[in-house]
Amino acid sequence: MKNINIGLIGFGTIGAGVAKILLENDKIISRRLGAQLELKKIADLDVTTDRGVKVPDGILTTEVNEVIGNPEIDIVIELIGGYEPARTFVERALNSRQSVVTANKALLAKFGNELFAAAKANGIDLYYEASVAGGIPIIKTLREALAGNRINSVCGILNGTCNYILTKMGDEGADFAEVLKSAQELGYAEADPTFDVEGIDTAHKLALLTALAFATEIDFAAIHVEGITNIKPVDFAFAREFGYKIKLLAIAKNEAGRIEARVHPTMIPKEHMLAKIDDVFNAVFVNADALGPSLYYGQGAGMMATASAVVGDLVDIARNLNSDNLRRIPDLSFQENQIKPGNYRPMSEISSQYYIRFSAHDKTSVLSRIAGILGSHNISIASVIQQGGGDGDAVTVPIVMQTHKALEKNLRAALDEIDQLDIIAAPTAVIRMESEL
């Protein structure tokens, strides 16, 4: 049986998972592939730490050039993460005509256009299933299974750390800092959680999904990004009263060629499929014209789930190699000459329903003044809740409103005015509400 040789760079948790699958499942893989995937070399600066997987002698090396540019290695797996040296190594592998599998969404969100161009120029494959939603096969779904559909929208919960934190805040009424600390203790959040909790990791993934769905260049800068650090326990209580849950959603919509791509905390009706995705799980909700709505759910991170996606990509490329058919599937689903810069709708032009929480001094006429300003900016109020207070003008009370659909720029103009009023004690909190995903 023919051997297809694999080289891995970056022997961390996912790398160890990939090695484990390749060593333990070699028979079932070769029964599917009709060839043997052989893990020839693993390059990492640290080749002494025990990763819990016993690799054959002679495989580990600290010399990356034993993988990159080594003519014996057919496919390179990049699991270093981050921008450099991953970008340099991936470029060198592609320019050495080695196909590449990566899980690196940050790299592709920023440099994907040029890396895919290099893959095309060299006539080889650059696969990236593990970069979005870990083990969930969403790239394959968009590139292959839904190739007959026009995609209207792709929305997802793409960050397990944030979903865990929001689930716990909702269930336990705990505040953000407290839940983040426990998530770090459990290993669900990084020591530096910035990319996760500020929504950046989710936006990296959405940049790829948007390009795949709508035939656009990858454009991370076009995505509006807000994280979860300002959500308060009281917001979960009000969301529950309205029949909603709060999720960090990645939203990409295409309305007649105008694209919205945004990441922000979102209230969604508790009956919606995405509202039921809790803890560290990820899910992607796709609305396509022929299929209709569909949901892809599973583990978006973790050693074996992510490694499963990496090995799936290896098998795909190995099948292409076997049949002399590299680049069988276009990198971003559409033929390269069909991919154009996206026509993005600016955030000020989007329309949404809004949850608004005012911190107001409990004085007479507060409600009428707020409502008057909202009305003057064409914001129509759907419901109001005011709790507590009522015993003097030093008391601050939350006043919560749910609006009908309104333009973001009108809402911002109204809130700029309202937040100047002497009756307002703290900046007003806003969460977008989405019922039409």
Q: How far is the CB of 201 from ligand HSE (least distance, A)?
A: 5
From CA 134, how far away is CA 284, in angstroms rounded? 11
38: tokens are: 């052989």
- Is 203 a binding residue for ligand HSE by CB under 6 A? The answer is no
Least CB distance to ligand HSE at residue 105 (A): 6
Task: Rank residues 300 and 398 by Cβ distance to ligand HSE and give the closer one.
Answer: 300
Closer CB to ligand HSE, residue 295 or residue 381?
295
Torsions phi, psi for 276 (to 5 deg): -90, 0
Specify the residue, 188 or 358, whose C-beta has the smaller distance to ligand HSE.
188
Query: What number of other Cβ atoms are within 10 A of residue 15's Cβ?
Result: 25
Helix (H, G, I), strand (E, B) or coil at 430: strand
- Rounded distance, CA 353 to CA 355, Å? 7
Among 196, 226, 313, 316, binds ligand HSE (CB under 6 A): 196
Binding to ligand HSE by residue 160, rule CB under 6 A?
A: yes
* Bond into 293 cis (ω within 30): no
Instruction: Tell me which of 265, 298, 300, 312 binds ligand HSE, using CB under 6 A.
Output: 300
Minimum separation from the CB atom of position 159 to ligand HSE (A)? 4
* Of 14-22, 27-35, 153-161, 411-419: span binding ligand HSE (CB under 6 A): 153-161
Minimum gap (Å) between residue 250 Cβ and ligand HSE? 12
Each residue 81-120 as x (binds ligand HSE by CB under 6 A) or -, in order, gives ----------------------------------------
**Residue 92 or 140 with smaller CB distance to ligand HSE:** 140
Q: Does 201 bind ligand HSE (CB under 6 A)?
A: yes
Q: Which token pair is 274?
A: 């995405």
Residue closer to ligand HSE by CB (options 300, 342) is: 300
Would you count residue 301 as binding ligand HSE (CB under 6 A)?
A: yes
| CA neighbor of 92 nearest in space, from 64, 59, 132, 134 | 64
Q: Kindly identify the residues of this chain, within the stretch 316-345, that bind ligand HSE according to CB under 6 A.
A: none
d(CA 90, CA 96): 10
H or E stretch including 366? helix 366-376
Window of 43-51, 158-166, 291-299, 354-362 that interacts with ligand HSE by CB under 6 A: 158-166
* Interface mask toward ligand HSE for 133-152; x: CB under 6 A: -x------------------
Q: Is the dihedral of CA 69, 73, 75, 81 positive or negative?
A: negative
Nearer to ligand HSE, 312 or 389 (CB): 312
Tell whether residue 299 is a contact of ligand HSE (CB under 6 A).
no
CA angle 49, 103, 213 (to 5 degrees): 170
CA distance between the termini of the chain: 49
At 91 the three-state DSSP class reads helix
User: Phi and psi for 159 in degrees, rounded to 5?
Assistant: -135, 110
> Which window, 154-162, 252-260, 332-340, 388-396, contacts ligand HSE (CB under 6 A)?
154-162
Q: Give the three-state DSSP class for 34.
A: coil
Tokens coding 252: 């990409």
Q: Binding ligand HSE by CB under 6 A: which of 98, 122, 159, 299? A: 159
* Dihedral over Cα of 301, 305, 306, 312: its sign: negative
Residues noted as catalytic: 205
- Enumerate binding residues for ligand HSE (CB under 6 A): 134, 159-161, 196, 201, 300-301
